[in-house]
């Protein structure tokens, strides 16, 4: 895998990179030779992941950034470019899925926070980094979406709407930044992560998917590496399902 998806000399920025799927992708990129910017709301977990990456012989930059805050995004971008001089791959992975008993119980604060992290942040970060990638002549943006975008539930209408918007944004940015920059999305089903620890065992045992289980974090790595690498040179605007075939 490390030879086929060689990322030597590449710089990868991963939001939500301190845990869950983001953590798995950050490690995978480093294992394939990339230097990694690990961004999340809290600095300490980012620093811990950065230390792991440095122990693998790669450079790493931990950055605290709340991607749901519009004005916080430029500082993250500047930190990345000041340190490495470029970003070859942007992974918009940070996401939250708060719920409320019913739509009338959703507060404006909850609505804005959900849309902010899942859609506004990726939009702003992609806009700033995408422009620079285009000027540099190449780049890849990967948005981590959710099957909720196409299988909505009464439990999380705001989250589902934000992820559906992220899918459309993926295709819009593929057209805006093409042909120099490729923009794709990974539309995930449920995964066995620490974030899902309250429900993952039950979901795993009772999964209706064709694979009869939920995903394992490492299973997102090869999809991300494919979309980030030149092996996917004719793939852009794609929304790749990573759900074990959920009916």
- Name the nearest CA neighbour of 22 among 89, 76, 109, 69: 89
Joined tokens for residue 153:
């539930």
Name the residue with tokens 């899902």: 196
Residue 142 and residue 88 in contact, taking contact as beta carbons nearer than 8 Å: no
CA distances from 145 to 26, 87, 159, 161, 219 (A): 17, 21, 10, 11, 15
Residue 207 and residue 201 in contact, taking contact as beta carbons nearer than 8 Å: no
Is 159 annotated as catalytic?
Answer: yes
CA atoms within 13 A on the CB side of 55: 7
Residues linked to residue 89 through DSSP beta bridges, in sequence order: 12, 140
Q: Which of 23, 81, 156, 159 is catalytic?
A: 159
- Name the nearest CA neighbour of 38 among 28, 50, 48: 50
Joined tokens for residue 207:
């999964």
3 state SS of 74: helix
Q: What is the DSSP string of 22-70?
A: HHHHHHHHHHTT-EEEEEES-HHHHHHHHHHHHHTT--EEEEE--TTSG
Q: How many residues does the chain have?
A: 247
Query: Could you list the active site residues?
Result: 159
């Amino acid at each position: 895998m490390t030879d086929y998806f060689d990322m030597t000399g590449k710089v990868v920025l991963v939001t939500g990179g301190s845990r869950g799927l983001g953590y798995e992708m950050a490690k995978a990129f480093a294992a394939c030779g990339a230097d990694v910017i690990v961004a999340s709301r809290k600095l300490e977990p980012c620093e811990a992941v950065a230390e792991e990456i440095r122990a693998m012989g790669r450079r790493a930059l931990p950055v605290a950034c709340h991607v749901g805050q519009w004005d916080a995004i430029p500082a993250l971008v500047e930190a990345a470019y000041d340190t490495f001089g470029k970003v070859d791959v942007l992974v918009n992975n940070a996401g939250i899925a708060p719920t409320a008993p019913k739509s009338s119980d959703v507060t404006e604060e909850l609505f804005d926070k959900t849309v902010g992290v899942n859609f506004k942040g990726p939009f702003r970060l992609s806009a700033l980094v995408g422009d620079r990638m285009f000027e540099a002549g190449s780049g890849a943006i990967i948005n981590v979406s959710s099957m909720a975008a196409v299988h909505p539930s009464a439990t999380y209408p705001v989250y589902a709407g934000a992820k559906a918007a992220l899918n459309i944004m993926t295709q819009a940015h593929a057209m805006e930044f093409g042909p120099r920059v490729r923009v794709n999305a990974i539309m995930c089903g449920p995964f066995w992560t620490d974030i899902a620890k309250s429900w993952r065992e039950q979901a795993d045992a009772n999964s209706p998917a064709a694979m009869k289980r939920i995903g394992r974090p490492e299973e997102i790595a090869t999809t991300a590496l494919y979309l980030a690498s030149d092996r996917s040179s004719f793939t852009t605007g794609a929304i790749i399902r990573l759900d074990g075939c959920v009916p």
